[in-house]
Structure 1
Amino acid sequence: MKRYLKRWQAACVMAVAACLLAPATVSAQKRGGVANVAVIGEVPTFDPMASTADLVGVITQHYYETLFTFDSKWEVTPLLAATLPEISADGKQYTIALRSGVTFHNGATMTSKDVVDSLKRWTRVAPRGKQVADNIETIEAIDSSHVRITLKEPYVPLLSLLAFNNAAAVIMPAGTSDAAPKQPIGTGPYTFHEYRPDQYLQLTRFDNYASREEAPNNFGGARHQYLDEIRFVPVPDVNTRIEGALTGQYDYAEVIGAEAVDRIKGQAEPFVLKPAVFYLYVLNTQKGPFANVKLRQAMQAALNMEDTLAVAIGRKEFYSANGALYPEGYVWHTDKGVGGHYNTGDLDKATRLVKENYDGTPIRIIATRQNEINYQVALMASEYLKAVGFKVDLQVMDWATLLGRRANPDLWDIFATSTPYLPDPALMATLSESYPGWWVSPERSATFDAMNREIDPEKRKALWADLQAVIYEQAPFMKIGDLNTLAAKSTKLQGMKPSPWPYFWNAYKE
């Protein structure tokens, strides 16, 4: 089993992080200073288990930590765990040794009791925890420094799931209730210090942080706390984020439109992650018109993704109209199911399906202008849907409101979002039955479950190809295209590398 896992982890390398950075002066890391980070809006929760929103993961990873994380090759590496786990020959039992001397922000020492309690909470609260909950036989403490997870049957993506910072299996003090903690207490390099709505979330250095001793390695290895503070500032307007980055008000500004890259050069550093994410439409398959697969297929047929990307992104070098859920160069790349479904712009087929299946109920698209790409792709979908006979209600709101609304199946029919290319398809939030959209299908379950049980990497890839074909046939979500992401970084902020989830440990101010 260990041999297969090693092969599988090696196969999960992602080609991430080709960056366009202006040359910087090399200097020694300095301790001190504040990093002001402009983000697209208010964080909807401070509990990383409870949300799949990337903004939640970006912020909370600084004060909460997981047992495992990902290194620069996107292989699983230990974080709060001392080493990678011992896995039984049948793949059902994971024995995890914990690091000694890890301290929570409240001064308590982390033990196996905290880990067991946190992992059990994760299976109750987190969409990704619920994904594996039914397959967990027990989570138990062997002694104060060892935990054992016993599965009912093998689940190969378990380590990646435990390492992921999205709906994350973070470690909290034992006894944390299922309700979101009002004062988050974790083990991370920074502590939750002050939150002022619409102004900032302030994190401060945790002086008793127990860093790993290895060299920094993406999310793994040492996490140095050079900065005194990190302030996440909600800045909904993209132009305000850009101007703030250019004037030095913000040391880092996320989600900048591709058209701004020339403006940023010289006054700040353009931070480009390539390829970074793919954009997609998510449909409510539980309630409303799109509970009918024929109407989902109608929308899929109507869409012209090439034109949608051209309008939403503008600069061709920042996007690609590619239907495969993993692009070429990734071990999971396959074109199975894509042909005849992606980027067809078949208005005749779409119109026919609408006439045969649609009762006139308005299609509610929820979108935000805090991320202009989100709004533009929603607007394009609205126009295509109206062209084939749908009535459309495009509702524009702030990002936090959108995240809250999408959790209620009575309030929406379509939203757009993005996802990075994850080390394992099992980590895709849209494949979870508890993710907004709530795609439940016998074909999905049979293929997805078989893929997660299979330990042979080649057989897993074949099952993923089958699952991609099911996705295109049933259209619970629709890939728009591949995107490079652009952020603006001050030339004074050093020690950072482009990442799908930017982190500011190891960063310092010159």
Structure 2
Amino acid sequence: MTIRATCLLSSAVIALVAAGPVSAQGVVDVAIIGDPDTFDPMISTKDVVSIVTQHFLETLYTFDASWDVVPLLAADMPQISEDGLTYTIPLREGVSFHDGSTMDSADVLSSLQRWTEVASRGMGIADKIAGIEATGPAEITISLSEPYSPLLSLLAFSNSAAVVYPEEIIADQIETPVGTGPYQLVAHEPDQYVQLTRFDGYTQPPEAAGERRQTLDEIRFVPVPDTNTRVEGLLSGQFAYADSLSTEAYDRISASDVAEPVLLEPFGWPMFAVNHKQGLMTDLNIRRAVQAALPHDDMLFAAFGDEKFFQTDGALYPEGWAWHTEAGTDLYNINDQERAAEYLEQAGYDGQPLRILTSRQYEFHYQMAEVARMALEMAGFTVQMDVVDWATLAQNRDNPDLWDIYITHSPFLPEPSLTSSFFATSREGWNNPEKEAILDRFTAETDPEARREIYAELQTITYEDVGLIKIGNFNALQGKARSLDGVTPSPWPAFWNASIME
């Protein structure tokens, strides 16, 4: 869904949009990698959507600086029954939507029901939800058919997000989002800007979530697909913040009097997402051939250029994380094209093109793909590189007819169950019965140590069945104006506490 330049508040805004974005004191322009293709984060897992929509749409819970789940629209943490099947959630009272209505349990009920029907994460646990009820004007109760330990993490996450809308606008597609956040969406000019302004009716969340001050009058998100253009705009002072910059620009930004680098270390992991629904990659030997052929060191070096920006590491979580394990990583970074050729022979490979879907808006994706292509061709693959813009990639990856591998990345997430690729309901469709059994045990277990042991099994089968292919760890580079204060470094930078220093 592409949202055209639209007045979202009143007829008065239409005239302002026609003349361009509103000028105001305390305005920041933020360069992002592309235009959000939707402002409904329930139906999207894209970071560019999360970065923008978190400012005007909110969830029952959120994460604090330590990645602990804390209340946002909920008034407190839930009461959980002894059997782990019933979550009774108190709701904050007096919370206003941007249309002037007041949030109540009917809004939350309708929103959560829609989440289980249209959101990939919600659909992934829909079969475990026995019911959702409004058990009072300011109370919602979720009943499970079996314990599901990551539930609160799912309710807190900002993509495929369980955001709360007014009951009256709930539909299969929500063209005009109405939320409760500190800023409100007033206009969108495709490929030019997304304009947010302060919501004067905002009420602050509970203390644990942290204050969300509205220091800025306006935030404008500007889609800038080319990484070099984002860098130059940051250095010239055009942008107060720029996301996803090439690591080659680090030294230039460091030396600038106008801007400074923001390095997230470690940020996350690039991966090759595998089409398990149809096509070449449904054959295990083909998947093993790809896994064996890839030269991870070379791919990471091509993508990031300097070892201070990446680590060749097969563990799905790096050292220092509770989920870190080396289980299964003997199958990481094999870099053996002859072994890959043997797998191709076992598969009876006939030269059918292996279609790799990628984009240059995340330049490091493309650079990894180019190195992978050469290694795969050495192993005997015919490789078809489909290089498109990120919006097209996001659309095409939902159609399993169009790709065998697409390249993406993820930050390290606080709960492994937030990684949608593990679930058969994801667009990749990895539906291995042994993996499903492991995943069910993992999500039903509540003891942290037992969960870590089961997670090691999940990582092992990810390698053995080639559920996905992790390339390594990387540190992400963003940049900010030296005059910008109050933005906490994050995979999803938020600007509700931002201010411009004189």
Alignment of 1:39-78 (within 5 A): 39-78=32-71
1:58-106 deviations in Å (ceiling 9; x for gaps): 1111110000000111100000000000000000000000001100000
Contact 2:204 2:212 in 1 (8 A): yes
TM-score using structure 2 length? 0.93
Matches within 5 A, 1:119-158: 119-158=112-151
**Superposition deviation, residue 502 in structure 1:** 0.8
SS of the equivalent of 1:297 reads helix
Distance 2:239 2:404 in 1: 36
Matched, 1:163 2:151: no
Deviations 1:222-257 (A, max 9, x none): 111111111111101111100000001111111111
Q: Secondary structure at the match of 1:254?
A: strand
- Alignment-derived partner of residue 486 in structure 2: 495
Q: Name the counterpart of 1:242.
A: 231
Matched, 1:368 2:371: no
Structure 1 residue 116: Cα displacement: 0.5
Superimposed CA distance per residue, residues 142-177 of structure 1 (whole angstroms, 9 cap, x where no aligned partner) = 110000000001000000110011100000011434
Gapped runs of 5+ residues in structure 1?
1-30
Matches within 5 A, 1:11-410: 32-212=25-205, 214=207, 220-265=209-254, 266=256, 267-339=258-330, 341-357=331-347, 358-410=349-401
Q: Is the 8 A contact 2:111 2:170 kept in 1?
A: no
Q: Distance in 2 between matches of 1:395 and 1:153?
A: 42
- Asked whether the equivalents of residues 65 and 79 of structure 1 are also in contact (C-alpha less than 8 Å), the reply is yes
Following the alignment from structure 2 to structure 1, what is the Cα–Cα distance between the partners of residues 372 and 396?
19
Deviation at 1:179, TM superposition (A): 3.0
Where 2:185 maps in the other structure, the secondary structure is strand
The CA deviation at 1:386 is: 1.0
Is the partner of 2:186 in helix, strand or coil?
strand
Amino acid at match of 2:283: N
Deviations 1:329-380 (A, max 9, x none): 11100000111x1011111110011122113221111111111101111112
Match in the other structure for 1:6: none
Letter aligned with residue 209 of structure 1: Y
Shift of 1:45: 1.1
> In the alignment, is the contact (CA less than 8 A) between 2:337 and 2:376 conserved in 1?
no
Report the alpha carbon displacement of residue 438 of structure 1 after superposing the two structures with TM. 1.1
Partner Cα separation in structure 2 for residue 259 and residue 109 of structure 1: 48
**Residue 32 (structure 1) shift:** 4.3
Q: Is the 8 Å Cα contact of residues 367 and 415 (structure 1) preserved in structure 2?
A: yes
> Are the aligned partners of 1:32 and 1:509 in contact in 2 as well (CA < 8 Å)?
no
Say if 2:72 and 2:206, in contact at 8 Å, map to a contact too.
Answer: no
Counterpart of 2:297 in 1: which secondary structure? Answer: helix
Q: Is the 8 A contact 1:302 1:346 kept in 2?
A: yes
Equivalent pair of 1:32/1:226 in contact (CA under 8 Å): no
* Deviation string, structure 1 residues 99-124 (Cα, Å, up to 9, x no partner): 01100000000000000000000000
What corresponds to 2:18 in structure 1?
none
Assess if the C-alpha contact under 8 Å between 1:284 and 1:476 holds in 2: no
Q: How many residues align?
A: 475
Counterpart in 2 of 1:19?
Answer: none
Runs of 4+ displaced beyond 4 Å: none
> Aligned partners of 2:494 and 2:267: how far apart in 1?
15
1:121-146 CA distance string (max 9 Å, x none): 00000000011110001100011000
* Counterpart code for 2:411: P
Partner SS, residue 134 of structure 1: helix
Letter aligned with residue 115 of structure 2: W
Between the aligned partners of 2:481 and 2:396, the Cα distance in structure 1 is: 35
| Alignment partner, residue 421 of structure 2 | 430
- For the Cα contact (< 8 Å) 1:183–1:192, is it kept in 2? no
CA shift, 1:304, in A, is 1.2
Asked if the contact 1:45–1:180 (Cα under 8 Å) also holds between the matched residues in 2, the reply is: no
Aligned partners of 1:61, 1:167: CA distance in 2, in Å? 12
Q: 1:1-22 CA distances to partner (integer Å, 9 max, x unpaired)? A: xxxxxxxxxxxxxxxxxxxxxx
Q: Which residue identity does 1:432 align to in structure 2? A: F
1:459 aligns with 2:447: no
Give the TM-score normalised by the residue count of structure 1.
0.92
- Equivalents in 2 of 1:468, 1:476: separation in Å? 10
Tell me which moved more, 172-181 or 466-475: 172-181
Q: Is the 8 A contact 1:160 1:427 kept in 2?
A: yes
